[in-house]
């Protein structure tokens, strides 16, 4: 690297990255606008200002390209969610922030949801989990964990049941809000937060839980842990 050129090697790499980016941009536009079947590799290439063959240097298959587009969406969503949540706020507020962000984002880019389902299909395997979705989902889990750590939430909270309810409800609500052409509705989020009420821990001192009951809980936890091992933790998101 000579002094006259601060990053000469990058010239090439940067070009490649710029291309990769323009391909992704073009693909996202076309997939979103035309749907998976309506999308042509030729059209993506045209919009990315490259030759059709070049597309295949970056993505082996139309399906692969779709998967990358979708992954990309969830990665950006993750980034946005991280920024939307104030870590120091009460967890119940954090949940509200996450839910609000999720609902808003889905409403704005609902096409990506359809693409996500199409991207999951994989050689007859029933479902192919996109890794980036898992990362996104982790944000919810982290908030709950934080809440339990801070004694704001009961450790009894059934994690994935709540998670499924939250995301499922928000996704579906986004769909119908779009249908009704309503840009956003906070009451949906409110409804959902009710779900967490039973697990909120009031810090005003109250009676200690029954010690016998407590020991029962501990035994239950042991059993559950052992079951999880037996079941191989199959299919957990």
Partner DNA sequence: GATGAATGAGTATTCATTCAT
Partner DNA sequence: TATGAATGAATACTCATTCAT
Nearest distance from residue 188's CB to a copy of itself, in Å?
A: 5
The piece of 10-18, 54-62, 93-101, 195-203 that touches a copy of itself (CB under 8 A) is 195-203
- What are the structure tokens assigned to 154, written together? 């009961």
Alpha carbon distances (Å) from 226 to 213, 214, 231 = 20, 19, 9
Out of DNA, a copy of itself, none, which partner does residue 10 contact, by CB within 5 to 8 A per kind?
none
Q: What residues between 31 and 70 interact with a copy of itself by CB under 8 A?
A: 35, 37
118 binds DNA (CB under 7 A): no
Out of a copy of itself, DNA, none, which partner does residue 14 contact, by CB within 5 to 8 A per kind?
none
| Nearer of residues 22 and 142 to DNA, judged by Cβ | 22
Q: Residues 37-56: x/- map of binding to DNA (CB under 7 A)?
A: -xxxxx-------xxxxxxx
Residue closest to 68 by CA, chosen among 153, 134, 131:
131
Q: What residues between 122 and 151 interact with a copy of itself by CB under 8 A?
A: 126-127, 129
> CA 99, 102, 104, 107 torsion: positive or negative?
negative
108 binds a copy of itself (CB under 8 A): no
- What are the structure tokens assigned to 64, written together? 């692969």
How many residues contact DNA, by CB under 7 A? 22
213 binds a copy of itself (CB under 8 A): yes
| Nearer of residues 50 and 169 to DNA, judged by Cβ | 50
Residues near a copy of itself (CB under 8 A) = 35, 37, 114, 117, 121, 126-127, 129, 154, 156, 158, 160-162, 164-173, 175-176, 178-181, 185, 187-188, 191-192, 194-195, 197-199, 209, 211-213, 215-220, 223-224, 226-227, 229-231, 234-237
């Amino acid at each position: 690297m000579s002094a006259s050129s601060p990053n000469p090697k990058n010239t090439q790499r940067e070009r490649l990255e710029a291309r990769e980016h323009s391909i992704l941009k073009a693909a996202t536009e076309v997939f979103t606008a035309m749907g998976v079947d309506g999308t042509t590799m030729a059209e993506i290439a045209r919009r990315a200002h490259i030759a059709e063959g070049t597309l295949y240097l970056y993505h082996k298959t139309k399906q692969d390209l779709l998967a990358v587009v979708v992954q990309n969406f969830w990665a950006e969503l993750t980034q946005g969610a991280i920024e939307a949540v104030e870590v120091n706020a009460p967890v119940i507020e954090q949940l509200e922030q996450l839910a609000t962000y999720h609902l808003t984002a889905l409403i704005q880019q609902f096409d990506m949801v359809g693409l996500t389902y199409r991207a999951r299909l994989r050689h007859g395997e029933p479902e192919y989990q996109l890794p980036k979705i898992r990362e996104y989902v982790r944000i919810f889990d982290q908030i709950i964990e934080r809440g339990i750590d801070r004694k704001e939430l009961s450790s009894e909270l059934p994690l994935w049941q709540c998670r499924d309810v939250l995301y499922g409800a928000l996704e579906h609500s986004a769909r119908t809000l779009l249908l009704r052409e309503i840009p956003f509705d906070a009451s949906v989020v409110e409804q959902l937060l009710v779900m967490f009420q039973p697990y909120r821990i009031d810090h005003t001192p109250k009676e200690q839980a029954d010690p016998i009951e407590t020991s029962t809980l501990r035994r239950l936890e042991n059993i559950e842990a052992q079951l999880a091992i037996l079941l191989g933790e199959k299919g957990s998101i």
